[in-house]
Structure 1
Amino acid sequence: MSQIEIHQFPCLSDNYGYLVHDPASGETTCIDTPDADEYLRQAALKGWTITQIWNTHWHPDHAGGNEAIKAATGCTITAPLGDAEKIAGIDRTVRDGDLVKLGDHTAQVIDVSGHTMGHIAYHLPGSDMAFVGDSVFALGCGRMFEGTAPQFWDSLVRVRSLPPQTVLYCAHEYTASNARFALHADPENEALRAYADEIADKRSRDEPTVPFVLERELHTNPFLRADDPSLQARWGGDLPYQTFAALRAAKDSF
């Protein structure tokens, strides 16, 4: 089986676009569609034909380019069932546990709702990668626009239960601001401080901090560690989702 190729590129103000290509079949999927023109331009530069779109959730900077890309390419669109009423052009809806294919490569759909009610991630275990949209960021997580704290915490537990070597592709370059809050939330964490220094160095050279490896987040991302006794002592909450809620509220106003 051929190795998947990932083409990552900036678009809009702080989004990342992803084209995922299987050389054996020639299939290419867009992970979300924040900017239709840029996706079509980048695919043309690579010489790839877009055959699919995999949406993670309904927000316009994730699904807003669906119709234009489908009109230009005839691609098929897979989207989360829970957000389907707000997403254009869908050919197939999926939910937690469903499988999607790109050539011979299989992605497992994971419920990561909380940012929106239907948010999903696509995990390709054979390639040690997952596309997580706005559910998890490097040193952060998405705002809780639609879901509840218990729901979002359960979603983060599903993400952190993936193999630690999994490479996570999120949708935005938010890492520098996330690092500032993480240091505020967990100031004694030496691994976090080293990570934050690396992030500052990368951003000073305008280098991306995405993708990132789950294993490092398990030790440094406060939102994935809301059941850690030290964070619970600092932020309160008898149950992890309560600590998570306190952290999320603090980040919202940080």
Structure 2
Amino acid sequence: MTTLTIHQFPCLSDNYGFLLHDNASGETVCIDTPDANAYLREAKAKGWAITQIWNTHWHPDHAGGNEAIKAATGCSITAPAGDAAKIAGIDRTVSGGDQVMIGNYAAQVIDVGGHTLGHIAYFLPEAEMAFVGDSLFALGCGRMFEGTAPQFWESLSRLKTLPSNTLIYCAHEYTAANAKFALHADPENRALAEYVQEISNKRAKGQPTVPTLLGRELETNPFLRSDVPQMQARWGGTQPDETFAALRAAKDSF
């Protein structure tokens, strides 16, 4: 039985904040810092002392609260080496293959560059969860601001190899919009149609669609299916990264 608890809460316009707490050690990690005041308020309400920040990438809605939270709590900040020049207050940089700890739990650092060059994810195998920032979304993926299609596809391929029961904690509530494009991209996918109906029902009730289960994303997320023959036939490309590039370009203008 895991001693880890996740507190998820909305912040900014469409971000989610995540506080990862280990009941055994008392440690609390901020997964990214979109809104310092929200994180400090939520931690106080839970009675948790923030001890660490784990950044996934440099964008201000993910690292903008670093300095204020560190000033208030004295926490340490871990951030991706590839984005370090643009992130404030860093104590440690990490890259794919490294690990970070909360209590006795190890989180594996995975290189998921593409949205930004240095983007990373944190996978906790014992807790069957991954914090993926803006690399992967429910039924979508991040915009390719800095990377290339081959790089981004390789990054998503790393996430595809995680256990199918992994809970994917992505950073935004983009799922309803992503669902519209997914149906356009993969209209004959019955599992996708069922998933979209569930998403619609959740959003109608004001419920979050995050986290999402990796196994379900593998069946329904068009970007993760860029290596599936019918997707390649529909969208072109003889290699998965070419099909991914076509899908990403289509989503950008959808």
Q: TM-score range by the shorter chain?
A: over 0.9
Q: 2:65 maps to which residue?
A: 65
Q: 2:225 maps to which residue?
A: 225
Deviation at 1:70, TM superposition (A): 0.1
Q: 2:23 maps to which residue?
A: 23
Distance 2:26 2:215 in 1: 32
- 1:180 matched to 2:169? The reply is no
Structure 2: gaps spanning 5 or more residues = none
Q: 1:104 maps to which residue?
A: 104
Deviation at 1:3, TM superposition (A): 1.6
Partner secondary structure for residue 223 of structure 2: helix
Structure 1: gaps spanning 5 or more residues = none
Given that 1:192 and 1:219 are in contact with CA atoms closer than 8 Å, whether structure 2 keeps it comes out as: yes
Distance 2:169 2:150 in 1: 24
- Give the partner amino acid of 1:84: A
Task: Report Cα offsets for 1:191-230 as digits up to 9, x if no partner.
Answer: 0000000000100111000001000011100000101110
Task: Report Cα offsets for 1:120-145 as digits up to 9, x if no partner.
Answer: 00000000000000000000000000
Q: 2:139 maps to which residue?
A: 139
TM-score, length of structure 1 as denominator length: 0.99
Q: 2:8 maps to which residue?
A: 8
Structure 1 segments (4+ residues) deviating >2 Å: none
Number of aligned pairs? 254
Distance 2:214 2:230 in 1: 20
Partner secondary structure for residue 209 of structure 2: coil
Q: 1:119 maps to which residue?
A: 119
Distance 1:7 1:213 in 2: 17
- 1:243 matched to 2:243? The reply is yes
| Root mean square deviation of aligned Cα | 0.6
Given that 1:128 and 1:166 are in contact with CA atoms closer than 8 Å, whether structure 2 keeps it comes out as: yes
Partner secondary structure for residue 147 of structure 1: coil
Distance 2:236 2:77 in 1: 42
Q: 2:196 maps to which residue?
A: 196
Given that 1:121 and 1:131 are in contact with CA atoms closer than 8 Å, whether structure 2 keeps it comes out as: yes
Q: 2:42 maps to which residue?
A: 42
- Give the partner amino acid of 1:216: R
Deviation at 1:2, TM superposition (A): 4.8
Given that 2:2 and 2:127 are in contact with CA atoms closer than 8 Å, whether structure 1 keeps it comes out as: no
Q: 1:55 maps to which residue?
A: 55
